[in-house]
Protein backbone atom coordinates (compact mmCIF):
# COMPACT_ATOMS: atom_id res chain seq x y z
CA UNK A 1 0.00 0.00 0.00
CA UNK A 2 1.60 3.25 -1.11
CA UNK A 3 -1.03 5.58 0.40
CA UNK A 4 0.16 6.46 3.93
CA UNK A 5 -3.32 7.66 4.90
CA UNK A 6 -4.87 4.29 4.08
CA UNK A 7 -2.01 2.43 5.81
CA UNK A 8 -2.58 4.47 8.95
CA UNK A 9 -6.35 3.96 8.80
CA UNK A 10 -5.95 0.21 8.38
CA UNK A 11 -3.56 0.01 11.33
CA UNK A 12 -5.81 2.06 13.60
CA UNK A 13 -8.87 0.07 12.56
CA UNK A 14 -7.18 -3.28 13.26
CA UNK A 15 -5.93 -1.99 16.63
CA UNK A 16 -9.41 -0.75 17.58
CA UNK A 17 -11.01 -4.06 16.65
CA UNK A 18 -8.32 -6.01 18.51
CA UNK A 19 -8.88 -3.89 21.62
CA UNK A 20 -12.66 -4.34 21.44
CA UNK A 21 -12.64 -8.12 20.90
CA UNK A 22 -14.38 -10.09 23.65
CA UNK A 23 -11.93 -12.70 24.88
CA UNK A 24 -14.69 -15.14 25.83
CA UNK A 25 -15.69 -15.34 22.15
CA UNK A 26 -12.32 -16.98 21.50
CA UNK A 27 -12.38 -19.26 24.52
CA UNK A 28 -9.65 -17.15 26.15
CA UNK A 29 -9.54 -16.21 29.84
CA UNK A 30 -9.55 -12.58 31.01
CA UNK A 31 -6.24 -10.76 31.20
CA UNK A 32 -5.54 -10.28 34.88
CA UNK A 33 -8.60 -10.35 37.08
CA UNK A 34 -11.06 -8.26 35.11
CA UNK A 35 -9.95 -7.39 31.59
CA UNK A 36 -12.46 -9.27 29.44
CA UNK A 37 -11.87 -7.35 26.20
CA UNK A 38 -8.79 -7.10 24.06
CA UNK A 39 -6.55 -9.57 22.26
CA UNK A 40 -2.78 -9.51 22.31
CA UNK A 41 -1.01 -9.06 18.99
CA UNK A 42 0.44 -12.53 19.40
CA UNK A 43 -3.06 -13.96 19.75
CA UNK A 44 -4.35 -12.26 16.61
CA UNK A 45 -1.27 -13.43 14.71
CA UNK A 46 -1.79 -17.02 15.87
CA UNK A 47 -5.52 -17.00 15.06
CA UNK A 48 -4.94 -15.62 11.57
CA UNK A 49 -1.79 -17.54 10.69
CA UNK A 50 0.17 -14.31 10.19
CA UNK A 51 3.56 -13.67 11.77
CA UNK A 52 3.63 -11.41 14.81
CA UNK A 53 6.14 -9.12 13.10
CA UNK A 54 4.00 -8.77 9.97
CA UNK A 55 0.86 -8.05 11.98
CA UNK A 56 2.70 -5.51 14.13
CA UNK A 57 3.89 -3.72 11.01
CA UNK A 58 0.32 -3.56 9.73
CA UNK A 59 -0.89 -1.95 12.96
CA UNK A 60 2.01 0.49 12.81
CA UNK A 61 1.13 1.54 9.28
CA UNK A 62 4.43 0.39 7.81
CA UNK A 63 4.88 0.50 4.02
CA UNK A 64 4.10 -3.15 3.32
CA UNK A 65 1.65 -4.78 0.91
CA UNK A 66 -0.53 -7.42 2.59
CA UNK A 67 -2.15 -9.90 0.24
CA UNK A 68 -5.90 -10.25 -0.03
CA UNK A 69 -5.59 -13.62 1.72
CA UNK A 70 -3.81 -12.04 4.70
CA UNK A 71 -6.46 -9.34 5.08
CA UNK A 72 -9.24 -11.92 4.81
CA UNK A 73 -7.54 -14.08 7.45
CA UNK A 74 -7.20 -11.13 9.82
CA UNK A 75 -10.84 -10.21 9.25
CA UNK A 76 -11.91 -13.74 10.16
CA UNK A 77 -9.67 -13.74 13.23
CA UNK A 78 -11.19 -10.46 14.42
CA UNK A 79 -14.74 -11.68 13.69
CA UNK A 80 -15.46 -8.79 11.33
CA UNK A 81 -18.82 -8.51 9.61
CA UNK A 82 -19.05 -8.62 5.79
CA UNK A 83 -19.05 -4.82 5.88
CA UNK A 84 -15.92 -4.88 8.02
CA UNK A 85 -14.22 -7.26 5.61
CA UNK A 86 -15.08 -4.99 2.69
CA UNK A 87 -13.70 -2.01 4.58
CA UNK A 88 -10.39 -3.75 5.31
CA UNK A 89 -10.06 -4.94 1.72
CA UNK A 90 -10.79 -1.46 0.39
CA UNK A 91 -8.05 0.00 2.58
CA UNK A 92 -5.70 -2.67 1.23
CA UNK A 93 -6.55 -1.67 -2.33
CA UNK A 94 -8.64 -4.72 -3.18
CA UNK A 95 -11.99 -2.99 -3.65
CA UNK A 96 -12.53 -0.32 -6.25
CA UNK A 97 -14.32 2.88 -5.39
CA UNK A 98 -17.56 3.58 -7.21
CA UNK A 99 -16.88 5.50 -10.42
CA UNK A 100 -17.51 9.18 -9.95
CA UNK A 101 -19.51 11.33 -12.27
CA UNK A 102 -18.58 14.85 -13.28
CA UNK A 103 -18.02 17.29 -10.45
CA UNK A 104 -21.07 19.40 -9.64
CA UNK A 105 -22.64 21.41 -6.84
CA UNK A 106 -26.16 20.09 -7.43
CA UNK A 107 -27.80 16.94 -8.69
CA UNK A 108 -28.17 16.58 -12.48
CA UNK A 109 -31.57 17.72 -13.82
CA UNK A 110 -32.83 14.19 -14.47
CA UNK A 111 -32.03 13.17 -10.87
CA UNK A 112 -33.86 16.23 -9.57
CA UNK A 113 -36.89 15.35 -11.73
CA UNK A 114 -36.85 11.83 -10.30
CA UNK A 115 -36.88 13.15 -6.73
CA UNK A 116 -39.65 15.64 -7.56
CA UNK A 117 -41.76 12.77 -8.89
CA UNK A 118 -41.46 11.01 -5.53
CA UNK A 119 -43.46 13.69 -3.65
CA UNK A 120 -45.02 13.38 -1.10
CA UNK A 121 -42.29 10.95 -0.05
CA UNK A 122 -39.27 12.94 1.21
CA UNK A 123 -36.19 12.40 -0.93
CA UNK A 124 -32.70 13.83 -1.26
CA UNK A 125 -29.47 12.99 -3.08
CA UNK A 126 -25.99 12.65 -1.58
CA UNK A 127 -22.53 13.14 -3.06
CA UNK A 128 -19.73 10.75 -1.97
CA UNK A 129 -18.76 13.11 0.87
CA UNK A 130 -22.43 13.13 1.95
CA UNK A 131 -22.96 16.65 0.68
CA UNK A 132 -26.64 17.12 -0.13
CA UNK A 133 -26.91 17.43 -3.91
CA UNK A 134 -30.64 18.08 -4.13
CA UNK A 135 -34.01 17.41 -2.51
CA UNK A 136 -37.72 17.49 -3.23
CA UNK A 137 -40.51 19.57 -1.71
CA UNK A 138 -41.50 16.82 0.69
CA UNK A 139 -38.01 16.71 2.22
CA UNK A 140 -38.00 20.51 2.55
CA UNK A 141 -41.33 20.24 4.39
CA UNK A 142 -39.91 17.59 6.72
CA UNK A 143 -36.64 19.46 7.28
CA UNK A 144 -37.09 23.16 6.38
CA UNK A 145 -33.49 24.11 7.24
CA UNK A 146 -32.16 22.27 4.18
CA UNK A 147 -33.07 25.23 1.97
CA UNK A 148 -31.55 27.92 4.21
CA UNK A 149 -28.26 26.53 5.52
CA UNK A 150 -25.13 27.81 3.73
CA UNK A 151 -24.11 25.51 0.84
CA UNK A 152 -20.80 24.72 2.60
CA UNK A 153 -22.77 23.32 5.55
CA UNK A 154 -25.27 21.37 3.43
CA UNK A 155 -23.74 18.02 4.34
CA UNK A 156 -25.87 15.30 5.93
CA UNK A 157 -23.31 14.31 8.56
CA UNK A 158 -22.60 17.95 9.45
CA UNK A 159 -26.31 18.70 9.84
CA UNK A 160 -26.98 15.57 11.92
CA UNK A 161 -24.23 16.43 14.40
CA UNK A 162 -24.50 20.23 14.53
CA UNK A 163 -28.08 21.35 13.80
CA UNK A 164 -30.26 21.45 16.97
CA UNK A 165 -33.35 21.15 14.76
CA UNK A 166 -32.20 17.71 13.63
CA UNK A 167 -31.73 16.57 17.22
CA UNK A 168 -35.33 17.58 17.94
CA UNK A 169 -36.52 15.99 14.68
CA UNK A 170 -34.98 12.61 15.55
CA UNK A 171 -36.32 11.14 18.81
CA UNK A 172 -33.58 8.49 18.64
CA UNK A 173 -30.83 10.94 17.69
CA UNK A 174 -28.16 9.22 19.77
CA UNK A 175 -28.64 5.87 18.01
CA UNK A 176 -29.25 7.32 14.54
CA UNK A 177 -26.24 9.66 14.62
CA UNK A 178 -23.93 6.79 15.56
CA UNK A 179 -25.32 4.64 12.75
CA UNK A 180 -24.88 7.44 10.21
CA UNK A 181 -21.27 7.89 11.31
CA UNK A 182 -20.58 4.15 10.99
CA UNK A 183 -22.18 4.06 7.52
CA UNK A 184 -20.20 7.11 6.43
CA UNK A 185 -16.93 5.52 7.50
CA UNK A 186 -17.76 2.26 5.73
CA UNK A 187 -18.61 4.10 2.50
CA UNK A 188 -15.63 6.45 2.49
CA UNK A 189 -12.83 4.16 3.73
CA UNK A 190 -10.96 4.09 0.43
CA UNK A 191 -11.45 7.84 -0.06
CA UNK A 192 -10.33 9.09 3.36
CA UNK A 193 -7.40 10.82 1.69
CA UNK A 194 -9.71 12.88 -0.54
CA UNK A 195 -9.66 16.59 0.43
CA UNK A 196 -13.47 16.80 0.64
CA UNK A 197 -13.67 13.83 3.01
CA UNK A 198 -10.75 15.04 5.15
CA UNK A 199 -12.31 18.48 5.37
CA UNK A 200 -15.64 17.15 6.63
CA UNK A 201 -14.04 14.81 9.17
CA UNK A 202 -11.71 17.45 10.62
CA UNK A 203 -14.34 20.17 10.93
CA UNK A 204 -16.75 17.73 12.57
CA UNK A 205 -14.08 16.68 15.06
CA UNK A 206 -13.73 20.32 16.06
CA UNK A 207 -17.45 21.10 16.12
CA UNK A 208 -18.95 17.99 17.74
CA UNK A 209 -17.66 16.08 20.79
CA UNK A 210 -20.08 13.26 19.93
CA UNK A 211 -18.66 12.94 16.43
CA UNK A 212 -15.07 13.05 17.72
CA UNK A 213 -15.78 10.30 20.26
CA UNK A 214 -17.66 8.16 17.74
CA UNK A 215 -14.99 8.55 15.04
CA UNK A 216 -12.35 7.17 17.38
CA UNK A 217 -14.40 4.01 17.96
CA UNK A 218 -13.90 2.88 14.33
CA UNK A 219 -17.40 1.44 14.06
CA UNK A 220 -18.55 0.61 10.53
CA UNK A 221 -21.93 -0.50 9.21
CA UNK A 222 -23.31 -1.20 5.77
CA UNK A 223 -26.52 0.54 4.79
CA UNK A 224 -29.77 -1.34 5.43
CA UNK A 225 -33.30 -0.15 4.69
CA UNK A 226 -35.05 0.37 7.98
CA UNK A 227 -37.89 2.14 9.76
CA UNK A 228 -37.18 5.64 11.01
CA UNK A 229 -39.05 7.96 13.37
CA UNK A 230 -39.32 11.72 12.91
CA UNK A 231 -40.95 14.10 15.38
CA UNK A 232 -42.21 17.10 13.42
CA UNK A 233 -43.71 20.03 15.36
CA UNK A 234 -46.59 20.37 12.87
CA UNK A 235 -47.79 16.76 12.51
CA UNK A 236 -46.26 14.81 15.38
CA UNK A 237 -44.37 11.54 15.02
CA UNK A 238 -44.00 10.13 11.50
CA UNK A 239 -43.10 6.49 10.84
CA UNK A 240 -41.13 6.29 7.61
CA UNK A 241 -39.05 3.62 5.89
CA UNK A 242 -35.55 4.71 4.93
CA UNK A 243 -34.37 3.46 1.52
CA UNK A 244 -31.31 4.26 -0.58
CA UNK A 245 -30.60 3.65 -4.28
CA UNK A 246 -27.93 4.70 -6.78
CA UNK A 247 -28.68 5.56 -10.44
CA UNK A 248 -26.83 3.33 -12.90
CA UNK A 249 -25.59 6.39 -14.81
CA UNK A 250 -24.46 8.21 -11.64
CA UNK A 251 -23.32 5.55 -9.16
CA UNK A 252 -21.48 8.21 -7.17
CA UNK A 253 -24.85 9.61 -6.08
CA UNK A 254 -27.09 8.02 -3.44
CA UNK A 255 -30.79 8.86 -3.61
CA UNK A 256 -32.45 8.57 -0.21
CA UNK A 257 -36.22 8.07 -0.07
CA UNK A 258 -38.48 8.00 3.00
CA UNK A 259 -41.68 6.08 2.27
CA UNK A 260 -44.65 5.65 4.64
CA UNK A 261 -44.16 2.71 6.99
CA UNK A 262 -46.82 -0.01 6.57
CA UNK A 263 -49.79 0.53 8.85
CA UNK A 264 -48.77 4.10 9.71
CA UNK A 265 -50.46 7.44 9.06
CA UNK A 266 -47.30 8.84 7.47
CA UNK A 267 -48.80 9.26 3.98
CA UNK A 268 -51.62 11.45 5.27
CA UNK A 269 -49.23 13.27 7.61
CA UNK A 270 -46.82 14.10 4.77
CA UNK A 271 -49.68 15.34 2.56
CA UNK A 272 -50.84 17.57 5.40
CA UNK A 273 -47.29 18.75 6.09
CA UNK A 274 -46.72 19.69 2.46
CA UNK A 275 -50.00 21.64 2.44
CA UNK A 276 -48.90 23.58 5.52
CA UNK A 277 -45.45 24.24 4.04
CA UNK A 278 -47.03 25.48 0.82
pLDDT digits (tens, 9 = 90+) for 40-99: 999 999 999 999 999 999 999 999 999 998 999 999 999 998 888 889 998 998 854 344
Q: CA torsion, points 224, 187, 80, 34, in degrees to nearest 10?
A: -100
Sequence spans of domains, the chain: 4-91, 109-277
Full-model pTM: 0.76
Q: Helices 41-48 and 68-77: crossing angle, nearest 10°?
A: 120
pLDDT digits (tens, 9 = 90+) for 178-214: 999 999 999 888 777 777 888 899 999 999 999 999 9
Residue 146: other Cβ atoms inside 10 A:
18
Task: Return the beta strands (E) in 26-136 as ranges.
Answer: 123-126, 132-135
Contact 25, 79 (CB under 8 A): yes
Q: How far apart are CA 27 and CA 77, in angstroms?
A: 13
pLDDT digits (tens, 9 = 90+) for 244-264: 999 998 888 999 999 999 999
| Farthest-apart Cα atoms in the chain, separation | 65
- The domain at 4-91 falls in which architecture? Orthogonal Bundle (1.10)
Which fold, 109-277? Beta-Lactamase (3.30.450)
- As a whole-number percent, the residues of the chain with pLDDT over 70 amount to 95
**pLDDT at position 156 over 50:** yes
Amino acid sequence: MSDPGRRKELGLFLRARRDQALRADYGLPPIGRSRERGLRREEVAFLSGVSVTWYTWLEQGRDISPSRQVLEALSRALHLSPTGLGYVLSLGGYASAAPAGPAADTAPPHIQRLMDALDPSPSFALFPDWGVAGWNKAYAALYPNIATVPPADRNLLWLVFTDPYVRDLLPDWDTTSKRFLAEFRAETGQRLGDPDIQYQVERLKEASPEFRQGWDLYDILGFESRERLFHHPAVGVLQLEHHQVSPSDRPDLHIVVYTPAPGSDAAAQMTSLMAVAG
